[in-house]
């Protein structure tokens, strides 16, 4: 049960969910999912964010989809070039910045990742994917309270954004020691993504620990 004690959900692109939603629209929230179940190191979830959708031309949509597919295939160098090319031609789309942030974070360049996150938030201050990435980066830097604020802003802007609920669970359980709050967010995550056996075990464990703490507190009163 201790496997989960060191990670957050980062989120990566799934072209089928995160790239295009209609012939003239494009998802620009920045990340959907790979289908990997949470294990406590930075992994992705099968939860698509509530996206910010902009009307764009078919040409812009096609260019963005190419970048997404390249990123999903693992060709990070080419994906970075394509995303930057997209932003040169179509500035103002936060998802491209978020995807760059994901790649930079996964490559260990946290300064570049945060710069892309801030660029996304300058365009869309309530973008849940950008806020989730900001929380990840802040948590990595030991700024737990600031990370919680970023995650909370993400779920305030998009209550169904499961990734941030998961990360709030991790943060509150492992770093802030707020087990009851962690339990609440794990349960919300579970309700949003469906039955997840591993998270279900964590919930059972947390319920036991919260109850034990309550009994200890009552006994000391």
Give the per-residue pLDDT at 56. 66
The yes-or-no verdict on residue 23 having pLDDT over 50 is no
Least confident residue range of 57-61, 132-136, 173-177, 194-198: 57-61
Give the per-residue pLDDT at 15. 32
25-27, strands of its sheet edge to edge: 20-22, 25-27, 53-55
- The rounded distance, in Å, linking the Cα atoms of 221 and 204 is 26
* pTM (2 d.p.): 0.78
- The rounded distance, in Å, linking the Cα atoms of 4 and 155 is 21
56-113: pLDDT as tens digits: 678 888 888 888 888 888 888 999 999 999 999 888 888 899 999 999 998 999 999 9
Domains, the chain, ranges and CATH? 2-215 (1.25.40.10)
If one compares 11 and 55, the residue with the highest pLDDT of the two is 55
Give the per-residue pLDDT at 55. 64
Whether 135 and 98 have beta carbons less than 8 Å apart is answered as no
The yes-or-no verdict on residue 205 having pLDDT over 60 is yes
Q: 190, 174, 191, 192: which is closest to 182 by C-alpha?
A: 174
Token look-up 């993400």 returns 154
CA distances from 115 to 8, 105, 210, 216 (A): 20, 11, 38, 46
């Amino acid at each position: 049960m201790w496997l989960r004690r060191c990670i957050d959900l980062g989120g990566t692109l799934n072209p089928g969910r995160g790239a295009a939603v209609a012939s003239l629209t494009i998802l620009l929230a920045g990340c959907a999912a790979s289908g990997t179940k949470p294990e406590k190191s930075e992994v992705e979830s099968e939860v698509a964010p509530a996206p910010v959708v902009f009307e764009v031309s078919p040409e812009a949509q096609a260019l963005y989809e190419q970048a997404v597919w390249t990123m999903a295939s693992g060709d990070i160098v080419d994906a970075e070039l394509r995303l930057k090319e997209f932003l040169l031609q179509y500035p103002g789309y936060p998802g491209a910045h978020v995807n760059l942030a994901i790649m930079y974070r996964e490559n260990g360049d946290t300064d570049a990742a945060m710069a892309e996150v801030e660029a996304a938030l300058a365009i869309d201050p309530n973008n849940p994917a950008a806020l989730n990435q900001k929380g990840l980066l802040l948590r990595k830097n030991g700024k737990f309270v600031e990370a919680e604020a970023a995650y909370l802003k993400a779920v305030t802007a998009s209550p169904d954004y499961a990734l941030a609920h998961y990360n709030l669970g991790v943060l509150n359980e492992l770093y802030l020691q707020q087990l009851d709050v962690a339990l609440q967010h794990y349960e919300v995550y579970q309700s949003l993504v469906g039955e997840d056996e591993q998270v279900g075990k964590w919930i059972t464990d947390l319920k036991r620990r919260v109850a034990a703490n309550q009994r200890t507190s009552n006994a000391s009163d």
